Amino acid sequence: MCGICCVVTLCSQRVIPDFLSEDTLHRLRRRGPDSSQQLIKTVSDLSYKCLFSGHVLHLRGLVTPQPLEDANNNVFLWNGEVFNGVHVGDLDNDTQVMFHHLTLCRSEEDILSLFSSLQGPWSFIYYQASRHSLWFGRDYFGRRSLLWQFSPEADSAFCLTSLSGYSEPGNQWQEVPASGIFKIDLKACAATKSLSLTLFPWKYWYTEKAAEETFINVLDQVSKDLPSHIHLVMNESKLCLRAPVIPLNTAVSEASGECPGTNSSNIIHVVSVETLQGFLAEEHKKKLVCQFIDVLNEAVKRRVLCLFRDQDQETREVPSMSHKKAHVAVLFSGGIDSMVIAALADKHVPLEEPIDLLNVAFMMKEQAKHKGTTKRHPNHEVQLDLLCPQETCQDLHAKSGAHLCCFDVPDRITGRAGLKELEAINPSRTWNFVEINVTLEELKKMRTQRINHLIYPLDTVLDDSIGCAIWFASRGEGFISSQGELKPYKSPAKVVLTGIGADEQLAGYSRHRVCFKKYGLEGLNKELEMELGRISSRNLGRDDRIIGDHGKEARFPFLDEDVVSFLNSLPVSEKADLTLPRGMGEKLLLRLAAKELGLTASTLLPKRALQFGSRIAKLESHREKASDTCSRLKLFSVGEL
């Protein structure tokens, strides 16, 4: 994980601080706390100037300060992880490896071939000095944030950065589309005093037909959000990057395409572990489940082993577990996604090393607590009033570490249950269940100070709820149980595993059921294809900025290229069966995998969105829609950045 930034001016009158403020540098340093430095390249005879700023979070190999520069004046900024496709040795640093490969490239085709071969999340900026070219882009899924901003004047200056900085009115930041790789010919742009971007789009490598139409569609999609004075063109040779995954299998057989409920013999009304076991008795289903476990297991393995560990932590023996620190954490609700990730991580994280399970809860309002307790536990309701008044709940908890019922939100309850399942699977592992409790006052304070700048340029109610919940969860400050009492704890783990991508591929959202009922499997296929296509702009840039703010790196096993290709290869009827009840039909393949891994009750938990499970959605306003522009994110002016 790194914070990367490049500012380019094509006019000597423009100065770098117009784009790169001290506040922006401070936020970039939080992403990369282990090394920070800057480099300025001035090409006076061509009248352009570039500032490169790199901020490194050390995760593998030797600490490698950025930006990197070689003897030929090439400059490289890298925010990514190479998990496959290009060899990175156990003691190597992937930034150095990527820079070495780039400097060997002799043509545009060579550069595209290099990035087409990569597996893993990345964003990068590369200055190719000999050709006065600036290359940049994000991976196919957009798992690493990269924003751009262009000056409103035609003389053109622009900035690329991991997160937003100061913005003049009417000149907003936008996420760089994960549509391909961009190149700017700085020599030509400096001569014309205008900015032109060349796009090299992603393309499935074995689909040749309709290439022209594909290019036009991608150009139109990217151009519509650019300022009018910025020109976007397709590269003259019509060169493309090879997509790292195969296309979605949209085949629908007649039998599987029947309307819901027409095949009464297959209707299952009882949601039970025994029912899942019955599916696993089918040879074909069992084979698919084992294949899925194998590919997902490998994805998790790459993400928990590709990081620096102290020498005494390289063995799986158990000398003394008390001194070991966690290197890996899981955003953990106890739901099926996080349970499977935790169970697979347990297979590869050294046994003497704890795994942190980060469980976030937002304090329930008195009214909500009363509503949930009045009928069943009238005496307990009085106890809540005495113990947890709104203004003192956090203070009491911080001083005593006592268990407080006002944080018993749904995700906390399922999280504790999930902890017991994991302890049953591997009682030798230290599982740190980190209870992260957030009051309304702290939420408002940290949103204003830190979080809203990270969510930007996204601005909906949903972005606010999810962004805030992930920020507090990934910060990892809470309490863990030690000898029967809760004690303060701050997770030291630099790698945070998250389950995003499971719902989008395995029909986990309630809207997928609505779509299926209306349009059948063909409609569901289109919905799933759209979900994965928009995940870069809807989720991943935001989540990368949020988690990176703590000097931690988000890793997404369900979006591993091999996992996505495996799931894309299957017809949708093999991945989900929405004729089955909630808690079983959605993400059926994952539930069966969980059962095969030894999980029990968690295999049947219905999907519950983070904003509802953590109760952040009920903390401030009940009348908002998820797609509404969030007024709370408008509490700051863009100029404050």
Active-site annotation, residues: 2
Q: What is the spatial distance between Cα 576 and Cα 597, in angstroms, rounded to a whole number?
A: 19
Over 209-254, what HEC string results? Answer: CCHHHHHHHHHHHHHCCCCCCCEEEECCCCCCEECCCCCCCCCCCC
Name the nearest CA neighbour of 311 among 343, 352, 344, 348. 352
Strand order, beta sheet including 157-161: 35-43, 48-56, 2-9, 157-161, 147-150, 174-175
Q: What is the spatial distance between Cα 501 and Cα 558, in angstroms, rounded to a whole number?
A: 5
- Phi then psi for residue 468, to 5 deg, are -65, -45
Burial of 419 (0-12, 13-18, 19+ CB in 10 A): buried
Q: What is the spatial distance between Cα 197 and Cα 194, in angstroms, rounded to a whole number?
A: 10
Name the nearest CA neighbour of 149 among 140, 162, 139. 162
Helix pair 108-117, 94-103: axis angle to 10 deg:
150
Contact 329, 496 (CB under 8 A): yes
Q: What is the CA radius of gyration of the chain?
A: 25
Tell me how far apart the terminal alpha carbons of the chain are, to the nearest angstrom: 22
Strands 133-138 and 122-128: antiparallel
Q: What is the spatial distance between Cα 607 and Cα 509, in angstroms, rounded to a whole number?
A: 7
Contact 451, 437 (CB under 8 A): no
356 alpha carbon, distance to own chain's centre: 18
CB neighbours (10 Å) of residue 216? 12
Q: Which amino acid is at 136?
A: F
